[in-house]
Chains A and B, each alone.
Chain A
């Protein structure tokens, strides 16, 4: 940043545009970059500056990256020649309305340590390529934050999206507040607020978000009303960057698994018996096991919880602190997930709970009195229905394609249930009431067979290669979803585990199995997995 004295006459060798303040806004289409830009140019004019704004807002580009650019200089009565687009190394203030847009700005050279005040919202608007990955395709924000720290003269990075939505406004207002709070522009806070008022729409909400942004940018040190522009650190001469304000959005706190459940007395006793068994485990295992036990008991009953602990005992038995209990910890996690398979009963149970209604109302922002019509989208196929039959009967259907086809014709169609209506609710209620019989149903048989095979394999492989055993447990992650998605997950699981034949005995077998699993999670069709399997076959 440079101090904005009156424009100078050209002096050879000096960049005469030091007298021009250059500001770029990078946003995702639809974030209100245009509103912010209008505010900034209006603010400049109110502050006695000449300003020019340009944009490349393609009309249809509502979800892509967009860029706005503003130049301003004190008004001397003569028309300055402003530029129409930002140049690398020549931007004083860079406002990014999303973290990766800040990254994009840095890649384009719009953020440089000699001059650029970077004001960025650290929230993420995920790109499509991040969201479509079957596993977790979200990029690591760390390098962008690191780059902000080293590339910007000053960095004001905080979650301005949340700051705005918390007070019922939108990010353009909180960014404007952060711009004011950053002191990068030579205008007082009042002038910023006056600009918002003059714009005339949603003024009160905007002012609240402005305040939140302002306070965030000043690190809450001041709520100040008048601050001289000259308190802003003076530009290029400064050797060291001022302390950056960088606050990443907080992750949701992990739920405390130790809150004891509520319920009938005898069940609480039973629960106590089970948790006593867990207390015997080493702490790294016990923490996860408590959580896993709660999940399993919630899924079925206390006896099922005991079954979970029986399985877990096998894992703990051959384990020790030497491997940091990795095998047992992963077993505590994935056994619970495997036991709590996604069947019709579970879905019906979850969707008919009072806690679900509460969560739905919170998500939709309505109170408990509001009337909400809730439509559930179901599409059962013969497989799901057969899975909910007693095992023998289910197999009778399954063993003959014609029977399955007959059944499929009757059940395979989209069903929309209104669970706010009695008839819709009762249908699900009835399905969830099958829970006590679950152990006798075909799906349970199938799931337990698969579980035993997988867990047995992990235990066996552990004997020879501890880390390989751990990785086999982790492959359970591949099995998820319903219908075709579930089938695809199972087939990926089988292909990854199938790779074991080629890996067994190698020192890096565990690493390779991990790579196979990561590959399987990286795309839908399993192309990456095929590639990785070919690599293994070439060994």
Chain B
């Protein structure tokens, strides 16, 4: 079950014609898929489209009613490959994943799909993880569209435009027998808004009908000689068909006056940012009515040559607003203008910066610079200088404000794994540590500072595979999450290590979910899932492959055990990969699962034990060694009222979930006796109470006796 439930929101997916639909971008996309008669949907979670997968999972009942199949794909490659259902059958299919990383993984299937072409509309919804809030390398999906000749939609970031582009995408795909990518950026996925809904439509052909009436066409299979024909077909048939559809249906939009000295050619996704800059320059009103003409590319690939050349007609200069690099669109336009012998000045990455997000400031400065140079008359007198508020001096706080990167949550079961690793390193020295994608990658930051590289999802051990020398006195340690393991780590990392007789150590961090993406279930999840098969142990898969040295640890909070196991793995004489599967449930999901149960039990008067940790402030000496092995948000420091103390002492706040890491670390690292664990018994039984009273009486007597014989200081 995913971290966020959309059970309430998906009810809206049933609304029909004319109803106003409120919600986030991703929810609107789901609704649009249903309105357009999609036959199957699939995908792989990952920000910013994780919630799209969650919405689809929560909407399975509605999908089922319409005869729409939902597939939680094993990887982006699986998702892309599933679009093969639209090759021979006139079924509309949509898959989603994060880009560019997901598109990287999917590209083999996407290239094959694009080569043979499709019959039913095939839509790939990519969440473009670029700019602020992104967690991956900064690249563009645009290149994938160009290399495989998949059409790329980049709609304006508002709900009606996104919804329309889903329908346009299917129709364009069918009109040109080509898969279509629909790109949505981070904020667009989470933007709130409204649009007027239409009735949902059952697919014209369901997957069941396709299964029962199989067809094949050897011309569509990617193997010579068909593959050579495909290339020609792309250029001679599909491309012109796409161009015609885009023009006939006016997928690209024009805003502003016909006549003007300059114009802007923009990616649809940049529209709101461009309008904001124009608004701030006094050249557009709050509804987007602009004095500067805009040619808005809701389809950024293919480009429509005559539309563009027509837009440039009579203008002195045009500015291409294209975020990211390389500037493929600008280059293509440059080539078109050159061939047409045009004299219009083409601007783009100058005045815009070559690299980086087009933030509000970048947009304002670059548009202003462009207009000041090529159409100063458009700018108001003050605007020719600048009408932006005088730049306020930004306070110099860089040395004060500490960085706050994302980190492990309170009670995270991965924390003790890295605490143990740090302890092992303190004993055995530093090792080459390969990290992977997932929450466990937070180990690279304070307080653990562990990990040298990250090469892709499920590729942690693979990324250490070259560092394979049987004569070496030290082994490498690779981390890999359960999500990455099932995504492709099983073969690319474990299988590879086994085959290549790698002696190094692999730690699989199993937290029962694909946790970093929002807690979706995967094969090894322990949860009952109504529509998916779970509870397939990772250790079984690893052993089944042939790995001999496998250790399953079922409670990661046992720091001492992890430490000992890791040490054994690093020092044993046994050959072949040493695989440790460290399993404990993601605390965020566990809390979400258990909290209502505990509340119910408390309500019913059942005996409930609630655990939290504390620090004896008079025992703690304020060295913070415990924090250097934890970094838990609930473990902080506080100043004591005692004027004889210099350093703040450790303190645990109310948010502690009693995971046990503090006590375990204090024990394993032989730190100090300051931590205590308090288990409060709610609704105690009779025997609890009797035992408590008996013990209490004796302890009270002992304490009173000693207190009577010594001086007691109120302030201590």
Contact = CB atoms under 8 A, between A and B. Distances in A.
Interface stretch (B168-176, B224-232, B540-548, B681-689): B681-689
Nearest to A302: B711
A223 interface: no
Interface in B613-631: 614, 616-619, 621-625, 627-628, 631
Nearest to A29: B406
Q: Classify the secondary structure of B's interface with A.
A: loop
Nearest to B275: A81
A135 B639 CA distance: 12
A13 interface: yes
Interface stretch (B75-83, B87-95, B342-350, B380-388): B380-388
Interface stretch (A175-183, A388-396, A418-426): A418-426
Contacts of B708: 264
B618 A350 contact: yes
Nearest to B715: A255
Contacts of A82: 272
A366 interface: yes
Interface stretch (A58-66, A277-285, A319-327, A499-507): A58-66
B406 A58 contact: yes
A354 B680 contact: no
B17 interface: no
Interface stretch (A190-198, A246-254, A306-314): A246-254
B236 interface: no
A485 B650 CA distance: 15
A268 B695 CA distance: 32
A446 interface: no
A402 interface: no
Interface in B577-628: 588, 609, 612, 614, 616-619, 621-625, 627-628
A59 to B, nearest CB: 4
B213 to A, nearest CB: 40
B404 A16 contact: no
A106 B51 CA distance: 31
A271 interface: yes
B403 A480 contact: no
Interface stretch (B105-113, B188-196, B240-248): B188-196
Contacts of A138: 637, 648
A57 B129 CA distance: 12
B699 A425 contact: yes
A294 B715 contact: yes
Interface string B682-714: 001000110010010011101110011111111
A218 to B, nearest CB: 26
Given A64-B406, A165-B654, A264-B708, A143 B282 contact: no
Interface in A437-495: 477, 480-485, 489
Interface in A72-105: 73, 78-90, 100-101, 103-104
Given A337-B644, A350-B618, A127 B402 contact: yes
B622 A480 contact: yes
A106 B401 CA distance: 10
A19 to B, nearest CB: 6
A249 to B, nearest CB: 11
Given A85-B359, A364-B614, A414-B560, A371 B644 contact: no
B706 to A, nearest CB: 8
A52 B192 contact: yes
Interface stretch (A201-209, A374-382, A526-534): A374-382
Contact of B191 (A53, A139, A356, A375): A53
A231 B89 CA distance: 66
A89 B391 contact: yes
B693 to A, nearest CB: 9
B518 interface: yes
Interface stretch (B35-43, B522-530, B668-676): B668-676
B616 A87 contact: no
Nearest to A254: B641
A88 B285 contact: no
Contact of B387 (A15, A51, A54): A15
Contacts of B383: 12-13
Contact of A371 (B672, B692, B704, B713): B692
A364 B678 CA distance: 8
B320 interface: no
Interface stretch (A3-11, A237-245, A508-516): A3-11
Given A83-B272, A354-B703, A374-B678, A63 B284 contact: no
Contact of A132 (B288, B446, B667, B679): B446
Given A58-B47, A60-B515, A112-B389, A81 B187 contact: no
Contacts of A136: 637, 646-648
A489 B625 CA distance: 11
Given A81-B275, A100-B401, A366 B680 contact: yes
Nearest to A381: B670
Interface stretch (B307-315, B323-331, B392-400, B471-479): B392-400
B679 A10 contact: no
A164 B444 CA distance: 34
B633 interface: yes
B108 to A, nearest CB: 27
B282 A107 contact: no
State which size class the interface on B falls in. Answer: 35 or more
Contacts of B675: 376-377
B164 interface: no
Given A88-B360, A370-B680, A429 B644 contact: no
A376 B676 contact: yes
A114 B389 contact: yes
Contacts of B668: 414
B445 A128 contact: yes
A427 interface: no
Contact of B710 (A80, A263, A336): A263
A30 B667 contact: no
B716 A294 contact: yes
Interface in B251-303: 271-273, 275-276, 279-289, 291
Contact of B359 (A29, A87, A128, A359): A87
A524 interface: yes
A537 interface: no
A130 B402 CA distance: 8
Contacts of B50: 59
Contacts of B654: 165, 365
Contacts of B333: none
A9 B616 CA distance: 65
A453 B517 CA distance: 58
A131 interface: yes
A15 B283 CA distance: 9
Q: Which of the listed residues A13, A109, A131, A352 has the most CB atoms from chain B within 10 Å of its own CB?
A: A131
A63 B403 CA distance: 11
B657 interface: no
Contact of B677 (A11, A356, A374): A374
A333 interface: yes
Closest 6 CB pairs of A and B: A87-B360, A56-B133, A13-B380, A64-B406, A147-B395, A414-B667
27 contacts: A7-B286, A11-B282, A52-B193, A56-B187, A60-B135, A62-B588, A67-B133, A80-B286, A83-B276, A85-B132, A89-B388, A127-B402, A135-B646, A146-B395, A151-B395, A255-B642, A255-B714, A262-B711, A262-B714, A370-B680, A371-B688, A372-B678, A373-B609, A375-B676, A420-B692, A480-B647, A485-B621
Interface of A: 7-17, 19-20, 28-30, 41, 51-65, 67, 73, 78-90, 100-101, 103-104, 106-109, 112-115, 125-136, 138-140, 143-144, 146-147, 150-151, 165, 251-257, 259, 261-264, 267-268, 271, 288, 291-292, 294-295, 297-298, 301-302, 333, 336-337, 342, 347, 350-354, 356, 359-360, 363-366, 370-379, 381, 414, 416, 420-422, 425, 429, 477, 480-485, 489, 521, 524
Given A64-B407, A264-B708, 13 more contacts: A17-B276, A65-B404, A80-B287, A81-B279, A84-B273, A114-B389, A140-B400, A291-B643, A377-B666, A416-B667, A422-B695, A422-B698, A483-B672
